[in-house]
Amino acid sequence: MGRTIGIDLGTTNSCIAFSDGGHPTVIQSKSGSRVMPSVVAFSAKGERLVGLVARRQAITNPKNTVNSIKRLMGRRYAEVSNQINDVSYEIVENGNGDAAVRIMDRIYTPPEISAIILQQLKLTAEEFLGEEVTDAVITVPAYFNEIQREATKAAGKIAGFNVKRVLNEPTAAALAFLEPQGKKKLVVYDFGGGTFDVSVLQVIEGVFEVKATLGNTTLGGDDLDTKLVQWIMSEFKSETGIDLSRDNIAPQRVREAAERAKCELSMTHETDINLPFIATGESGPVHLEITVTRNLFEELAGNLIHETIPLCKDALDDAGMKIEDIDHVVLVGGSTRIPMVQKLVEEFFKKKPAQSVNPDEVVALGAAIESSVLTGQRKDLVLIDVTPLTLGVETLGGVLAPIIKRNSPIPTRNSRIFTTASDNQSVVGVHVAQGEREIIDGNRSLGTFELRGITAAKRGEPRIEVVFEIDASGILNVSARDTTTGQEQSIKVNPSGGLSGHDIERLRKEAAANAEADKIRLRFVAIRNEADEVIYKASKSLKVAREELDKESWTELENELKKLKTLRDEEDPLAIEKAIAVVRQLNSSVSKLVEVFESDEENATSEFLNSISKVEGEGNSAK
């Protein structure tokens, strides 16, 4: 077996490190570079270029130069086609709905392109270490779902690595930053080229536990560049009347210059952009010369940078911590070099972010430390990760009953007891979903299965235990068991089930925006469920009463029951509640007379799984 290395496969740059006796060191290329641009290009002769050489020729060969491939990893074409429009290469659908890249009539999947980057990193490591490198720990954003993680693993395999672990970037940063001894709480604020995420971690005597992680997978340094590009182009247009966005090569040149200017503005207050021969006007070549100040950049991009702060607050809330509890704030990712980012983070956390780490290298160093844990060189560390969204099942009325809450440490197991919604119901449908909305429709469906052969019993009597179990690699197993008969059914689902980080963020935002509306709908669902319960009981006593009692003792109940049945489907909760109270009272008297007294006590469980069919074969399908 050869060496194991840690790889930070970044959107913009990648970095590798190895561990010697448990101490991590960054691996440099022959030319002394400690990071490599994550760029792949194909020349007209079909030659492959990787890293700095690929980036250097991007201006003259934009269509065949692929950058930021990480943004396409494990994503569906439909998701990215509208979202990613700032790249110069062609994004296509690869025939099965996944996003891919077309270069000179050949389609490359994102893992193939990433594999080219990884192969180059493998070569660099082998040159540096003077021995074969076979194994790797590769980092991914905490928000990557299972499919994106699998795609990253696939890229590693294509490149010839045995991928020993796919590790979350913030966890890697924490591993590199903190000594395992003692008890510390820290925040990792990671603002890179394509994504932002923030994680809250706690370390107690070598156990690194992620308490919460949140992010926005569509917010990164590239978006800040876009703001600057738009401003430069509009200034140029108002001065010269020339629209650079319609040119083939100019937008790429402006983007590169804007990024360079942005980076310079992290050190100086003012910088010049000079792009000679950027266009041809009526009287010959036109040059672009413009001065950008830090103030202007902050005005243009400030709103986007500010968007990261509420996520920090939410992550702390999710972790059950206050600002004062945090011992360290670690900055990761190139965009954290921006002075405004550092200032906002310091103001929010009331603490200077740690200065001792290099934001470009800390993740690779952490991955190298993890590799030394996996190879047994270090035995003083344990990692505990979390699941990013709530998981649960659909119950009657289309409500999500949570079983595993978001940010629960994995591996984890939890169960809840449910029951049937109709008499003699022999089948229940178990619909598994993921998301933060209380109403099922707003969440992501992960799969459905049926539990059959439930013993004939009155509605609400059977006890069906639904168990959710997530293993260390994040795979969810759901089982449902009739506790009387022992009948059991289960499925394995992928907790991210094709959810992209973008989806996760969208679901989170939608949940917050719809919380009020959901509450109203939930109230309706609860009232209608209660109405059904009362209608069921009253109908039962009426049936007996009709046979055994004088008409006048049950007519009123019959009339009020009719009213309740009509009202049940109307949008007037107060009227339904009133009608429920009236029927309940009348039914109590009638049922006592006919001795079918129904206790109003709640059943041990009052959560009804959605019915697939009342009686097997009837096909009364669930919504």
Which residues have a catalytic role annotated?
A: 8, 70, 169, 190
Which of the stretches 39-47, 330-338, 538-546, 579-587 binds ligand AMP when contact is defined by CB under 6 A? 330-338
Residue in 6, 7, 11, 371 binding ligand AMP, rule: CB under 6 A? 11
DSSP 33: -
Based on the shown chain and the rule CB under 6 A, indicate whether residue 389 belongs to the binding site for ligand AMP: no
Strands 207-216 and 270-281: unpaired
Based on the shown chain and the rule CB under 6 A, indicate whether residue 176 belongs to the binding site for ligand AMP: no
Site for ligand AMP in 193-212 (CB under 6 A): 193
452 neighbors 426 (Cβ within 8 angstroms): yes
Whole-number minimum distance, CB 495 to ligand AMP, in Å? Answer: 26
Whole-number minimum distance, CB 368 to ligand AMP, in Å? Answer: 17
Type of residue at 109: T
Measured in whole angstroms, the distance separating CA 496 from the mean position of its chain's CA atoms is: 8
Whole-number minimum distance, CB 496 to ligand AMP, in Å? Answer: 22
CB nearer ligand AMP, residue 75 or residue 262: 262
Number of residues written out for the chain = 623
Count CB neighbours of 539 within 10 A: 14
Residues 6, 22: Cα–Cα separation, whole Å = 12
Whole-number minimum distance, CB 266 to ligand AMP, in Å? Answer: 3
Would you give the binding string for ligand AMP spanning residues 338-367, x where CB under 6 A is met?
Answer: x-----------------------------
Site for ligand AMP in 518-547 (CB under 6 A): none
Long-range CB contacts for residues 164-167, cutoff 8 Å, separation at least 24: 164/4, 164/135, 164/136, 164/137, 164/371, 164/374, 165/137, 165/138, 165/370, 165/371, 165/374, 166/137, 166/138, 166/139, 166/140, 167/137, 167/138, 167/139, 167/140, 167/366, 167/367, 167/370, 167/383
Based on the shown chain and the rule CB under 6 A, indicate whether residue 51 belongs to the binding site for ligand AMP: no
CB nearer ligand AMP, residue 303 or residue 415: 303
Based on the shown chain and the rule CB under 6 A, indicate whether residue 141 belongs to the binding site for ligand AMP: no
**Which residues contact residue 53 at a Cβ distance below 8 angstroms, ignoring those fewer than 6 apart?**
41
Site for ligand AMP in 236-295 (CB under 6 A): 259, 262-263, 266
CB nearer ligand AMP, residue 359 or residue 460: 359
CB nearer ligand AMP, residue 79 or residue 259: 259
Based on the shown chain and the rule CB under 6 A, indicate whether residue 24 belongs to the binding site for ligand AMP: no
Q: Which two tokens stand for residue 564?
A: 């309740």
Residues 494, 269: Cα–Cα separation, whole Å = 48
Based on the shown chain and the rule CB under 6 A, indicate whether residue 226 belongs to the binding site for ligand AMP: no
Whole-number minimum distance, CB 471 to ligand AMP, in Å? Answer: 30
Which of the stretches 6-14, 50-58, 120-128, 148-156 binds ligand AMP when contact is defined by CB under 6 A? 6-14
Based on the shown chain and the rule CB under 6 A, indicate whether residue 337 belongs to the binding site for ligand AMP: yes
Residues 533, 598: Cα–Cα separation, whole Å = 11
Which of the stretches 154-162, 309-317, 334-342, 469-477 binds ligand AMP when contact is defined by CB under 6 A? 334-342
Q: Which two tokens stand for residue 171?
A: 């966890």
Strand-pair partners of 482? 464
Q: Which two tokens stand for residue 197?
A: 């995420």
Count CB neighbours of 313 within 10 A: 13
Residues 362, 371: Cα–Cα separation, whole Å = 14
Residue in 222, 394, 503, 533 binding ligand AMP, rule: CB under 6 A? 222
Which of the stretches 165-173, 329-337, 465-473, 537-545 binds ligand AMP when contact is defined by CB under 6 A? 329-337
Residue in 170, 333, 397, 429 binding ligand AMP, rule: CB under 6 A? 333
CB nearer ligand AMP, residue 261 or residue 478: 261
Return residues touching ligand AMP (CB under 6 A): 10-13, 192-193, 221-222, 259, 262-263, 266, 333-335, 337-338
